[in-house]
Structure 1
Amino acid sequence: MRLMLATAIGVALLGTPGTAADPQDLGPAVVLEHSARFAVDGPNGPLVVQAHWPAAAPPPEGYGIIYALDAGWTFGTLCDALALQGSAQAAGPVRPTVVVGIGWPGPGLIDMDRRGPDLVEAPGAEAMVRVLSDTILPRIEAALPVDPAHRMVLGHSYGGAFALRAGFARPDLFSHVAAGSPSLWTDPTGLGAPPPGATRPEVLISIGALERPEAARAAGAAPARVERLRSRDMAGRAETLARELGTELVEFPGLSHGASVTPFLAAAVDFLWR
């Protein structure tokens, strides 16, 4: 009897065979509290900006803040990481922090056709730095009190290269840069360390261990992928830049380029408040 009842419930939940299920029957959409969304003009078309701020009142010096590129891949995870790492149970250094995700219109906030022109290709990347510093940042910080000593620009891959560009161009604005697996090969001369004595932000650089060609080959990566890693020298360039900056290269064991995004974001949250 119990088995029959369980089977009947399962059929009811799944719907009658041959009929289309409608996810809208589950109820209303989830709404993220303490959040806002607006559009701005970017170098190659509109951009979408999403902001989430803490429920807690700002401290006297203001909230920390993270400006994150590729909002579709970073915004939600950063919000969760801040909630968990900044909780009373965590008892760590993380304090109330605003997340600002910058992406593109359309599903998922990702536009693969515009990532290159907006984030790493001239003149779009330089124009994108100006959009961030002259349009997005002032609008956000006119509404939310922010601590300039804990203001980070963050990105992964193309976004990581952009974060370095923005941080090195505007060290007066960004106290911290987090660059996960930065695509330094896109501009080898333009994304190097600032000259000795120049003002520069604190920089976190990370890679996945499987971005090393031999490690990727040993893990069974396709030969074309291994050759691409070798020709772009993802890991080698990251090591060189970290050494020039006098900072540690954080390496995530057993993870590839894409798989390293999640631990990179968690590390960035800690880095901002370390």
Structure 2
Amino acid sequence: MAAAGAGRGGRARGRALRPGSVPGSALRLPVPAMPETRMKRALSLAILLAALSSAVAPAAPPPPPDTPVQLPGTHAFGLHSRAGLEYRIFVSEPAAPAPPSGWPVVYVLDGNAWFAHAAQQVRVRGGKRPDKTGVLPALVVGVGYPGDAYINSPRRTPDFTPDVPLRTPNPAGWAATGGADTFMAFLVDELKPLINSRYATDQDKEILFGHSLGGLFALHAWFNHPAAFDGVVSASPSTWWNEEVALDWARRFAGSADAAGRKQPLLVATGAAELESMVAGARGLERILAGATAAGAPVQVALLEDEDHLSAAPVAINRLVRRFLAPSRDDIDHALALLADDGKADALVGRERSLVGAADGRGYRVREYRPAGVAAEQVRRTIYVLEDGEVLQAALRQARGSAVPTAVVGLRQGDGRPLQPRAFTPTPDGDPENRAGAEDLLKLLHAQVVPEIAGSRGPGGEDRVLVGSARAGLFALYAVANAPETFAAVVAVAPELDWRGGFVLSPNVIGRIGPKLAVQGRAARVVLLQEDIADPLSARLRQSLEAIEGVQAPGLALGEAPVQAVAAALDTAFGLADTARPARMPVFAEDTGLPVPDADAYVALTPQQRFDLRMRLRALPKPRQDAWVRRFKFNLDAALWFYEHRLLHEEKTRMDAINAYEAPAP
């Protein structure tokens, strides 16, 4: 190998490295020779470059220090009670603005141990969509003690045990007992007022959670202080304490007159794998309270399969969240409005009114949403929504984002619940005994709701669009067929076209549209939003509608984003309404000074009452008389359209019955 580095003159042109100079190798590698002067210069240059690089290059940053993890939206503070005791209060607050009624409040005892789980359950499951999760965001308040110990026995034992004569001595090492009433006074008279003053709370939705001895205190609160909380969850209560004194409370309650009338719910949840004494106590409560439960007391006792004393607490919290934080219709409305407003609580303003249906005598609640700062007379578009969920959310988004002032009108039952499917269901032809609610709902909209809303608009009037999905989508098509003058357009989202074998596709239904449009000189606009626009029923409906002169029925695909799809369909509907603007319902901005009855109310008047009404009308100034007459004639016209539809329907039913009649065989 050495000879390989020699030139022809026999002089070596390089120096061989000594064995070992390359670790793990015994090879002698040739290295070009370097004069001594050049070597010194190279070394000096290398040293200079190293110095420059060390002076210019920044030092590597030190690793970031460890930081404690904090749950989002939570904080804690100390509180000194009037009894001279220190408490550590943990609070988890929802991120979104509170509803008008305020947030529910969940008070969690042993906050050092159970607050974090309760706060995360409410935060994750509540979120922004209570209409989907079934859980309302809530304020969670943990009541704990100073220090980091999960369980502070010296403090919690007196707080959670009532002041009753001890039947047996407490276990060895226990702290003093009997401070439950003092602790209750702290909760009710000190902590709750402080929380209510700092946060937007609903004082009619205050829930108490306690576990083990805290569960015993929770039972004490429910049995002996029923007005303190609006609901109680007792997880693995220590019913064994003081020879089962908690069962004595249950017996006294079960035999009282208050048993059947108690409104505050109680949930007792004990692990099935706990000590026998704990399971026996839960079964004893269930047995003693069985009669009260049957009489209507909202009591539930649950044995949690495979759960022990400590694992039962998180499960009980999960059930608290699902059962006690179920949202009402107003809560869902508020959450959807905020979602449509991107969290801006003042972007939409709602007002609600109650009315009684003239046709069915039922109570209804009408809620109108308008963009903040937009008066009723400035609205130029109104979306009528008869349900919750994605359809309402899309309508609210439309109201906030449209350049044209747009309002949303929702309709519910008088008790606040959504309209039931039967309200959207037409009465099948030939089956008058099985009368459904679509006829009454259409009259309610046509003769009561729409005129009242339209009467608050300005002189320019408004365009109205009715939107519904599933059975409500079927009703939207029914409204087009029977009262096309009421809405400029309708949006039917995945309507139940197959209901009763394609009822809406029958010539009897579709055939009503053409003559009515011809009489009124109007145009009908129907936007069909389907998962599959090529569906045979959907295609057949569009073809049948578009075969009628003056009807447009475009079809759109629902796609993967229903809210955006419904919003696009609403844009299409209003665009169609703008291209062929129908004659609008009359606008009554004048104050008549005299109530104007609808047709049903006028028919119900006695002759003397009608005479008195005419005399009062004559006493009005001429402009008010004219305004009153215009409104009264409109009410009569609206009733005429409805009664015409009803009479035609009843006549056809009678004719069908006659044609189906067969003479008995001789």
Deviation at 1:242, TM superposition (A): 4.9
Determine helix, strand or coil for the equivalent of 1:257. coil
- Matched residues in 1 for 2:271 and 2:202: separation? 31
Counterpart code for 1:183: S
- Answer yes or no: is 1:234 the counterpart of 2:269: no
- Matched residues in 2 for 1:266 and 1:134: separation? 28
Deviation at 1:103, TM superposition (A): 1.2
Q: Which residue of 2 aligns with 1:82?
A: 122
From 209, 219, 226, the equivalent of 2:272 is 209
Counterpart code for 1:188: A
Deviation at 1:43, TM superposition (A): 5.4
Are residues 259 and 236 of structure 1, via their aligned partners in 2, closer, same or farther at CA, if it must alter by over 3 Å?
same
From 197, 205, 216, the equivalent of 1:161 is 216
Counterpart code for 1:141: N
Counterpart code for 2:219: L
Q: Please say if residues 154 and 178 of structure 1, whose CA atoms lie closer than 8 Å, have aligned partners that are also in contact.
A: yes
From 30, 35, 40, the equivalent of 2:69 is 30
- Matched residues in 2 for 1:71 and 1:244: separation? 34
User: Deviations 1:41-62 (Å, cap 9, x if unpaired)?
Assistant: 2758322211111111000110
Determine helix, strand or coil for the equivalent of 2:133. coil
Are residues 271 and 248 of structure 1, via their aligned partners in 2, closer, same or farther at CA, if it must alter by over 3 Å?
same
After the TM superposition, which of the residue ranges 181-190 and 119-128 deviates more from structure 2? 181-190
- Where do residues 125-164 of structure 1 align in structure 2 (5 Å cutoff)? 125-164=180-219
Q: Please say if residues 180 and 206 of structure 1, whose CA atoms lie closer than 8 Å, have aligned partners that are also in contact.
A: yes
Q: Please say if residues 214 and 237 of structure 2, whose CA atoms lie closer than 8 Å, have aligned partners that are also in contact.
A: yes
Counterpart code for 1:138: P
Deviation at 1:88, TM superposition (A): 4.7
- Matched residues in 2 for 1:184 and 1:157: separation? 9
Give the TM-score normalised by structure 2: 0.33
- Matched residues in 1 for 2:306 and 2:289: separation? 21
User: Deviations 1:223-262 (Å, cap 9, x if unpaired)?
Assistant: xxxxxx27x8333334235535522222211111122111
Q: Which residue of 1 aligns with 2:239?
A: 184
Unaligned 5+ segments in structure 1 are: 1-23, 214-228
- Answer yes or no: is 1:196 the counterpart of 2:257: yes
Give the TM-score normalised by structure 1: 0.76
User: Deviations 1:65-85 (Å, cap 9, x if unpaired)?
Assistant: 011100022100001111222
The count of residues paired between Structure 1 and Structure 2 equals: 235
User: Deviations 1:66-116 (Å, cap 9, x if unpaired)?
Assistant: 111000221000011112221357722211201111111111353112222
Determine helix, strand or coil for the equivalent of 1:77. helix
- Matched residues in 1 for 2:214 and 2:91: separation? 18
Q: Please say if residues 204 and 249 of structure 1, whose CA atoms lie closer than 8 Å, have aligned partners that are also in contact.
A: yes
User: Deviations 1:142-198 (Å, cap 9, x if unpaired)?
Assistant: 111211232101101111111122233443341110111111222335642633326
Q: Please say if residues 43 and 118 of structure 1, whose CA atoms lie closer than 8 Å, have aligned partners that are also in contact.
A: no
- Matched residues in 1 for 2:322 and 2:288: separation? 21
Determine helix, strand or coil for the equivalent of 2:321. helix
Counterpart code for 2:270: I
Unaligned 5+ segments in structure 2 are: 1-62, 164-177, 294-298, 327-666
- Matched residues in 2 for 1:25 and 1:191: separation? 56
- Matched residues in 1 for 2:289 and 2:275: separation? 16
Q: Please say if residues 48 and 109 of structure 1, whose CA atoms lie closer than 8 Å, have aligned partners that are also in contact.
A: no
Say what the alpha-carbon RMSD is for the aligned residues.
Answer: 2.6
- Matched residues in 2 for 1:99 and 1:241: separation? 32
- Matched residues in 2 for 1:80 and 1:183: separation? 26
After the TM superposition, which of the residue ranges 240-249 and 57-66 deviates more from structure 2? 240-249
Q: Please say if residues 216 and 246 of structure 2, whose CA atoms lie closer than 8 Å, have aligned partners that are also in contact.
A: no
Higher RCO, 1 vs 2 (CA within 8 Å, ≥6 residues apart) = 1
Deviation at 1:39, TM superposition (A): 1.8
- Matched residues in 2 for 1:71 and 1:42: separation? 20
Determine helix, strand or coil for the equivalent of 1:211. coil
Q: Please say if residues 175 and 201 of structure 1, whose CA atoms lie closer than 8 Å, have aligned partners that are also in contact.
A: yes
After the TM superposition, which of the residue ranges 77-86 and 101-110 deviates more from structure 2? 101-110
- Where do residues 10-49 of structure 1 align in structure 2 (5 Å cutoff)? 26-32=65-71, 33-41=73-81, 45-49=85-89
Deviation at 1:121, TM superposition (A): 4.1
Q: Please say if residues 78 and 86 of structure 2, whose CA atoms lie closer than 8 Å, have aligned partners that are also in contact.
A: no
Deviation at 1:266, TM superposition (A): 0.6
Counterpart code for 2:189: D
Q: Please say if residues 184 and 191 of structure 1, whose CA atoms lie closer than 8 Å, have aligned partners that are also in contact.
A: no
Determine helix, strand or coil for the equivalent of 2:149. helix
- Matched residues in 1 for 2:145 and 2:121: separation? 23
- Matched residues in 2 for 1:82 and 1:149: separation? 18
- Matched residues in 2 for 1:203 and 1:117: separation? 23
Q: Please say if residues 178 and 268 of structure 1, whose CA atoms lie closer than 8 Å, have aligned partners that are also in contact.
A: yes
- Matched residues in 2 for 1:267 and 1:173: separation? 21
- Answer yes or no: is 1:108 the counterpart of 2:149: yes
Q: Which residue of 2 aligns with 1:216?
A: none
Q: Please say if residues 160 and 179 of structure 1, whose CA atoms lie closer than 8 Å, have aligned partners that are also in contact.
A: yes
- Matched residues in 2 for 1:200 and 1:164: separation? 15
- Matched residues in 1 for 2:269 and 2:237: separation? 8
Identity of aligned residues (%): 26
- Matched residues in 1 for 2:274 and 2:115: separation? 24
- Answer yes or no: is 1:174 the counterpart of 2:229: yes
Q: Please say if residues 205 and 242 of structure 1, whose CA atoms lie closer than 8 Å, have aligned partners that are also in contact.
A: no
- Matched residues in 2 for 1:176 and 1:106: separation? 29
- Matched residues in 1 for 2:187 and 2:79: separation? 12
- Matched residues in 1 for 2:115 and 2:239: separation? 23
Counterpart code for 2:325: W
From 120, 134, 138, the equivalent of 2:161 is 120
Determine helix, strand or coil for the equivalent of 2:308. coil
